[in-house]
Amino acid sequence: MTTERRAVGAYGEQVAAQHLQALGLVILYRNWRCSAGEVDLVLRDGDDIVFCEVKTRRGTAYGTPAEAVGYRKVRKLRELAGHWLAETGLHPRNIRFDVVEVFPQQRGPARVEHISAAF
C-alpha cells in the first residue's frame, strides 16, 4: 500500500472516529489487531459492542465505499469479532457491524455516511 493511500485511510478513520463519538459511541480500540487481521474501530454503544469498518474514497467511480465490504470482508470481520470477544472475555447482549463511508472534499469537512447494522 502506498504512503498516500495509507494517509487517506488514516484520515478517514480519524474522521469516522470523531463522527461516531459525536453520536455518543465510545471508542474501545482503534486498529485492533490479532494474527487473523485488523478491525478499524471497536466501540460501545450503550450495552452493545460495535465492530466498525471504515472505508474512505475520493469518488464513486469504482462504487461506493460500502460496496467494497463484500462477502470475504464480512466473513473476516465476523471472525475477528469472535477473536476480540474471546480475548476480552466480554459477553455483550448484542453486537453489531457498522460501516462508515468517508468522502474527503476539495473544500470543507469530509462527508460521512454511517451505516448502522450494515450486515
Residues pairing with 52 in the sheet: 41, 98
What does residue 30 show for φ and ψ, rounded to 5 degrees?
A: -110, 135
pLDDT confidence of residue 96: 98
Residue 118: its pLDDT value, please?
96
How large is the C-alpha radius of gyration of the chain? 14
- In a 13 Å sphere around the CA of 85, the CA atoms on its Cβ side amount to 17
The domain total for the chain is 1
Q: What is the pLDDT of residue 99?
A: 98
- Convert the pLDDT of each residue in 32-45 to its tens digit: 999 999 999 999 99
- By C-alpha distance, which of 72, 36, 30 is closest to 51? 30
**Which residues of the chain fall below pLDDT 50?**
none
User: At 41, which CATH number?
Assistant: 3.40.1350.10
Phi, psi of 101 (to 5 degrees): -95, 130
Paired sense of beta strands 26-34 and 111-115, if any:
unpaired
- Strand ranges, E, within 57-109: 95-103
Predicted TM-score (pTM) of the model is: 0.93
Handedness of CA 104, 49, 116, 64 (dihedral sign): positive
Question: Whole domain around residue 16: which residue ranges?
Answer: 3-115
Task: Provide the 8-state DSSP code for 68.
Answer: G
